[in-house]
Chain A
Amino acid sequence: MAELSNAVDIANAVRNGSVSAVAVLDQYLARIDARESSIHAFNLVTREQARSMAAKVDADVKAGRDPGPLAGVPIALKDNMCTRGVPTTCSSRILDGWKPPYDATVVTRLAEAGAVFVGKTNLDEFAMGSSTENSAFGVTYNPHDTSRVSGGSSGGSAAAVAAGFAAASLGSDTGGSIRQPAALCGVVGVKPTYGTVSRYGLVAFASSLDQIGPFTVDVRDAAVLLEAMSGHDPLDSTSIPQPALSLQASLDRDVKGLRIGRITDLPGGSDSEVEARLAESFDALAAAGATIVDVELPSMKYGLTAYYLIAPAEASSNLARYDGVRYGLRVDAADTNAMYMATRAAGFGDEVKRRIMLGTYALSAGYYDAYYGKALKVRRLISDDFARAYQKADVLLTPTSPIVAFPVGAKVDDPLSMYLCDVFTIPTNLAGHPAMSVPFGTGAHGLPVGVQVLAPTLGESVMFQVAAHLERVAPGGAK
């Protein structure tokens, strides 16, 4: 694996004129040319747009204008974020040919910060999956071992950063879709507090759970990207009315005295080496003067079940608009209902159909109380459990994923075992809390392991403080 430059260093060099944004871009495009065919991180590489964005950054620098904190940083966007005039597919055939007439708020904000967009990355169709094998356009392979998956659903974005195709990327996280692929690809991935980053222009999977966040090569970059993306957006009613996060100051703060929570009733089944890395991360924080405290999250074990009712229920409604009437794929048929059915049968893949059926069922008259209604109650219980735990602890640590990157095809016929990949990440989304994955050594086959740092609502500062420490002490000389 090539040594990866971080976004902060690139932006500094571009801003002070020591390197041009175009030259930086050329390096990244060269890496894409060399290796993309064996990784398939992208649905689309936006070469021309990237060149013109980079040239504009250079022109700004030359004219004495500051292009912003992400000046010339090549960034890849998950292909479920709307980009004006550029196809946005969600890795689904149903959106065939659709070009959004508008940019997502995050896209606008990163562009204003000087970022250069290199392309749209592959994902599990509509972000439904944990391996990026559910894409209509093929698998994204893990840069650490191309016989293995990159994780998902933001596998393309994780792989793009890990392979050096982009200095950073954006993903979306509904049940772990940023953190799990970050762990499997050995990069940093952050799911911010729900409402911190605007969802305007993010194609919805499960609206009450979806949140956009960054993939980066190190923790500082993640802080800088989040600072650029976050802050209230009047176009998203669920956006928290507060200014952008301020995180960089917390990165160098000592962890001494912090209370680090260990969940004593954490669901089992993790690889022994994953468990060993987690234990080492607690040891490292204790050695630095933090206090390890035991907490219980008894309802955490129901999180997966509640999630697989709530997320599909919302998805069944969110995906109903893909009916062939106004945009995307249309398969003609004898009448309107037949056209709907033919279009949706041809346009959606199996996992999407599975979840639409699950969600429709969960919301149906006579079943609502037993399924969706009960799942909402579990969701509240999980939030209550977290609230109690955060009375005792400032942050919690868990593995990000119970296992390291698995071979392509190993779980495709077993949806339940695929769903279990997200057992540690899902409860965070149900509670609306922030969490991030930090690379912390390796596991089986020398593959990356991620440790997950969880924090309460708007606890990003302390979360980054702990994550930055873990990064400094990570085994194997991780960055």
Chain B
Amino acid sequence: MSETFMIDGYELVVGLEVHVELATATKLFSASANRFGDDPNTHIDPVTLGLPGALPVLNRQAVELAMRIGLALNCSVQACTFHRKNYFYPDMPKAYQISQYDVPLNIDGWLELPGGKRIGIERAHLEEDTGKSTHIGGTGGRIHGSDYSLIDFNRAGVPLVEIVGRPDIATPDEAKQYVTELRQILVAIGASDAKMEEGSMRCDANVSVRKPGAPLGTRCEIKNVNSVRSLGRAIEYEARRQIALIEGGEKVRQETRHWDENDGRTHTLRTKEDADDYRYFLEPDLVPLAPDASWIDAVRAALPMLPRERRARLSSATGAPADGEAIMVVVERGQDDYVLAVAAAGADASRALVHVKEAYAEQGATPAVPAADLARMIVLETSGKLTSTQAKTVLAEIVANGGGDAEKIAAAKGFEAMDTGALEAMVDEVIAAQADAWAKFCAGEEKAMGALVGAIMKASKGKADGKAVTALLQSKRG
């Protein structure tokens, strides 16, 4: 159980701050396109560049997507305000970021991990992204010591939602589950493509350690974590670093640290003393945002089914556990509707789940194979007309062709149902031929069964059903 996770007698306390770029058509405060990957400085305008006299106008679609995120995370959506966060950086065109400060759009929600644990969400607020700097020359791609810098303002003004989680995460694995689940929710509700590798989802981790029952330890914020895997590694490294400090009689300093993927360590970026004074004040160029109840209700009503509900639905249809691998994988691929359609076409739901999980990895949320085709194949399999091995072969062909009649494919391959009498005769022949193996198997050497099954399968040219063979052998052993 996660509650008992410890490193050298210390508990971990982790809170995640996740920034996601919203999948809007245009930027948060201007009409320029919100698009990744185009030539630098092609999606710019007076507002994006912070030209004198330009004014922000709030993007309604961004508000709506941000509300979707809040509602999907069980937050309260409230009337809110925008503030200016003031600091100088060359890729921040106005020298302030428009963000939300004391009264954000979404507050007090939670995210439920697949196992059922709830991680609190303190707030999810709207803000604008900065441009992107590339520092040429010098070392380490940092601005200090570089020869010159290039700035691409395409990203400046792209709408972000910052989701601030409460420090309810107790293990690196929970952190990974949280981010994975959050990503699935964001994709499911169409709020973001949430790609950590492309930076449309960025995760900072606040990590501290303490002895059980002790007050919270000093936390460090870890930045530059670019994948779910790195997140787990970075948290574990940082926890061990802090524990080593404490055990060595030193104190943990509150600071922001940079995760280095190459050396697998975190490094000091800036200490609390260097922290900027952002001089937040109410953004006078915008008016308060007060979504009325009917708008909030409409957004809530339009929310699609969330991954957690999808997993529960698939679990009750198939009997498989909701947080088991098959359901996790199939729901993440968005193929759960398909599995249910196969079942509705008359097939066994749990076989449908297994086949889709195994054979549909390359298919998207809407596989090319008609649900009825897979259903027919499963019916053949469950009625004993195809062995599970044959079924896999037939299905591979159906998937490769984007559909097909399982009966015809089976016939073309010469697959035919082997009746129980024929199979039993074949088993008896093999037992007689492999008396040694049979004796060992009867003496309780389970390994010997492999040789017997292999021989039977060979004799049947693959037509025998492995499960049936095993069952026969066991019943004959008595």
Q: Does B52 contact A (CB under 8 A)?
A: yes
**What is the 8 Å Cβ interface bit string for chain A, positions 344-376, against chain B (1 contact, 0 not)?**
000000000000000010011100100010000
Chain B residues 124-157 with CB under 8 Å of chain A are 143-144, 149, 151
Q: How far is the CA of A194 from the CA of B84 in the complex (A)?
A: 21
Residues in A with CB closer than 8 Å to B95 are 317, 320-321, 323
Q: How far is the CA of A206 from the CA of B84 in the complex (A)?
A: 14
Selected interface stretch from A40-48, A96-104, A221-229, A457-465: A96-104
Q: Does B360 contact A (CB under 8 A)?
A: no
Which of A95, A313, A325, A365 has the most CB atoms of chain B within a 10 A radius of its CB? Answer: A325
**What is the 8 Å Cβ interface bit string for chain A, positions 301-332, against chain B (1 contact, 0 not)?**
00000000000011011001101011100000
Q: Does B384 contact A (CB under 8 A)?
A: no
Residues in B with CB closer than 8 Å to A368 are 279, 281
Q: Does B94 contact A (CB under 8 A)?
A: yes
A101 & B46 in contact (Cβ 8 Å cutoff) = yes
Residues in B with CB closer than 8 Å to A160 are none
CB-CB nearest in chain B for A82:
B53
Interface residues on A, range: 35 or more
Residues in A with CB closer than 8 Å to B280 are 363
B55 & A101 in contact (Cβ 8 Å cutoff) = no
Residues in B with CB closer than 8 Å to A372 are 281
Q: Does A137 contact B (CB under 8 A)?
A: no
B53 & A204 in contact (Cβ 8 Å cutoff) = yes
Among the listed B52, B151, B279, which residue makes an inter-chain contact with A321, where contact means beta carbons less than 8 Å apart?
B52
A100 & B281 in contact (Cβ 8 Å cutoff) = no
Chain B residues 68-115 with CB under 8 Å of chain A are 84, 86, 88, 90, 93-96
**What is the 8 Å Cβ interface bit string for chain A, positions 86-128, against chain B (1 contact, 0 not)?**
0010100001001011101000000000000000000000000
Selected interface stretch from A10-18, A151-159, A233-241, A423-431: A233-241
Among the listed B56, B86, B143, which residue makes an inter-chain contact with A317, where contact means beta carbons less than 8 Å apart?
B86
Among the listed A95, A100, A207, A337, which residue makes an inter-chain contact with B285, where contact means beta carbons less than 8 Å apart?
A207
Among the listed A101, A235, A360, which residue makes an inter-chain contact with B51, where contact means beta carbons less than 8 Å apart?
A101
Residues in B with CB closer than 8 Å to A365 are 277, 279
Q: How far is the CA of A235 from the CA of B53 in the complex (A)?
A: 11
Q: Does B57 contact A (CB under 8 A)?
A: yes
Residues in A with CB closer than 8 Å to B84 are 317
Q: How far is the CA of A425 from the CA of B95 in the complex (A)?
A: 31
Q: Does B232 contact A (CB under 8 A)?
A: no
A150 shortest CB reach to chain B, Å: 24
A237 and B56 contact, Cβ closer than 8 Å, known pairs A208-B284, A317-B96: yes
Q: How far is the CA of A236 from the CA of B51 in the complex (A)?
A: 15
B175 shortest CB reach to chain A, Å: 31
A80 shortest CB reach to chain B, Å: 8
A237 and B57 contact, Cβ closer than 8 Å, known pairs A207-B285, A317-B281: yes
Among the listed A98, A207, A323, which residue makes an inter-chain contact with B88, where contact means beta carbons less than 8 Å apart?
A323
Q: How far is the CA of A234 from the CA of B55 in the complex (A)?
A: 10
Q: How far is the CA of A102 from the CA of B52 in the complex (A)?
A: 10
Which of B51, B53, B58, B95 has the most CB atoms of chain A within a 10 A radius of its CB? Answer: B53
A81 & B53 in contact (Cβ 8 Å cutoff) = yes
Q: What does DSSP make chain B's interface, helix, strand, loop or mixed?
A: loop
A82 & B52 in contact (Cβ 8 Å cutoff) = yes
CB-CB nearest in chain A for B82:
A237
Q: Does A406 contact B (CB under 8 A)?
A: no
Residues in B with CB closer than 8 Å to A317 are 84, 86, 95-96, 279, 281
Residues in B with CB closer than 8 Å to A235 are 55, 57
Q: Does B49 contact A (CB under 8 A)?
A: yes
Residues in B with CB closer than 8 Å to A206 are 284
Residues in A with CB closer than 8 Å to B143 are 336
A202 & B53 in contact (Cβ 8 Å cutoff) = yes
Q: Does A217 contact B (CB under 8 A)?
A: no
Residues in A with CB closer than 8 Å to B54 are 102, 200-201
Residues in B with CB closer than 8 Å to A81 are 53
B285 & A313 in contact (Cβ 8 Å cutoff) = no
Q: How far is the CA of A316 from the CA of B433 in the complex (A)?
A: 94
A355 shortest CB reach to chain B, Å: 15
CB-CB nearest in chain B for A326:
B49
Among the listed A88, A98, A340, A363, which residue makes an inter-chain contact with B279, where contact means beta carbons less than 8 Å apart?
A363
Q: Does B216 contact A (CB under 8 A)?
A: no
Residues in A with CB closer than 8 Å to B281 are 313-314, 317, 363, 368, 372
Q: Does B244 contact A (CB under 8 A)?
A: no
Residues in A with CB closer than 8 Å to B286 are 237-238
Q: Does B287 contact A (CB under 8 A)?
A: yes
Chain A residues 185-211 with CB under 8 Å of chain B are 199-204, 206-208
CB-CB nearest in chain A for B58:
A237
Q: How far is the CA of A364 from the CA of B86 in the complex (A)?
A: 11
A100 and B279 contact, Cβ closer than 8 Å, known pairs A323-B88, A340-B88: no
Q: Does A335 contact B (CB under 8 A)?
A: yes
Q: Does B217 contact A (CB under 8 A)?
A: no
Which of A95, A207, A320 has the most CB atoms of chain B within a 10 A radius of its CB? Answer: A320
Residues in A with CB closer than 8 Å to B88 are 320, 323, 337, 340
Q: How far is the CA of A88 from the CA of B58 in the complex (A)?
A: 26
Among the listed A100, A316, A363, which residue makes an inter-chain contact with B52, where contact means beta carbons less than 8 Å apart?
A100
A349 shortest CB reach to chain B, Å: 17
Q: Does B50 contact A (CB under 8 A)?
A: yes
Q: How far is the CA of A273 from the CA of B15 in the complex (A)?
A: 69
Q: How far is the CA of A360 from the CA of B49 in the complex (A)?
A: 23
B50 & A364 in contact (Cβ 8 Å cutoff) = no
B287 & A237 in contact (Cβ 8 Å cutoff) = yes
Residues in A with CB closer than 8 Å to B86 are 316-317, 320, 363
Residues in B with CB closer than 8 Å to A208 are 284
Chain B residues 395-446 with CB under 8 Å of chain A are none
Residues in A with CB closer than 8 Å to B284 are 206-208, 238, 314
Residues in A with CB closer than 8 Å to B151 are 325
Q: How far is the CA of A99 from the CA of B94 in the complex (A)?
A: 18
Q: How far is the CA of A179 from the CA of B88 in the complex (A)?
A: 35
Among the listed B46, B90, B279, which residue makes an inter-chain contact with A325, where contact means beta carbons less than 8 Å apart?
B90
Residues in B with CB closer than 8 Å to A90 are 52
A360 & B279 in contact (Cβ 8 Å cutoff) = yes
Residues in A with CB closer than 8 Å to B46 are 100-102
Residues in B with CB closer than 8 Å to A325 are 90, 151
Q: How far is the CA of A57 from the CA of B277 in the complex (A)?
A: 53
Q: How far is the CA of A203 from the CA of B55 in the complex (A)?
A: 10
Q: How far is the CA of A335 from the CA of B88 in the complex (A)?
A: 14
Among the listed B51, B56, B93, which residue makes an inter-chain contact with A100, where contact means beta carbons less than 8 Å apart?
B51
B287 & A238 in contact (Cβ 8 Å cutoff) = yes
Q: How far is the CA of A203 from the CA of B53 in the complex (A)?
A: 4
A320 & B52 in contact (Cβ 8 Å cutoff) = no
Q: How far is the CA of A81 from the CA of B90 in the complex (A)?
A: 25
Residues in B with CB closer than 8 Å to A316 are 86, 279
B53 & A100 in contact (Cβ 8 Å cutoff) = yes
Residues in B with CB closer than 8 Å to A326 are 49-50, 93
Q: How far is the CA of A203 from the CA of B51 in the complex (A)?
A: 9
Q: How far is the CA of A61 from the CA of B7 in the complex (A)?
A: 86
A203 & B287 in contact (Cβ 8 Å cutoff) = no
A364 & B277 in contact (Cβ 8 Å cutoff) = yes
A237 & B144 in contact (Cβ 8 Å cutoff) = no
Residues in B with CB closer than 8 Å to A82 are 51-53
Q: How far is the CA of A325 from the CA of B131 in the complex (A)?
A: 13
Q: How far is the CA of A88 from the CA of B53 in the complex (A)?
A: 10
Residues in B with CB closer than 8 Å to A321 are 50, 52, 93-95
Provide a sorted-by-A list of 12 A–B residue pairs whose CB atoms are within 8 angstroms.
A100-B46, A199-B53, A200-B54, A201-B54, A204-B285, A237-B55, A314-B284, A316-B279, A320-B95, A320-B96, A325-B90, A372-B281
A-B pairs, top 5 by smallest CB distance, nearest first, are A320-B95, A208-B284, A207-B284, A363-B279, A203-B52
- Enumerate chain B interface residues (CB-CB to A < 8 A): 46, 49-58, 84, 86, 88, 90, 93-96, 143-144, 149, 151, 277, 279-281, 284-287
Other 6 A-B pairs with CB < 8 A, given A202-B53, A235-B55, A320-B96: A81-B53, A236-B55, A320-B86, A321-B93, A326-B49, A340-B88
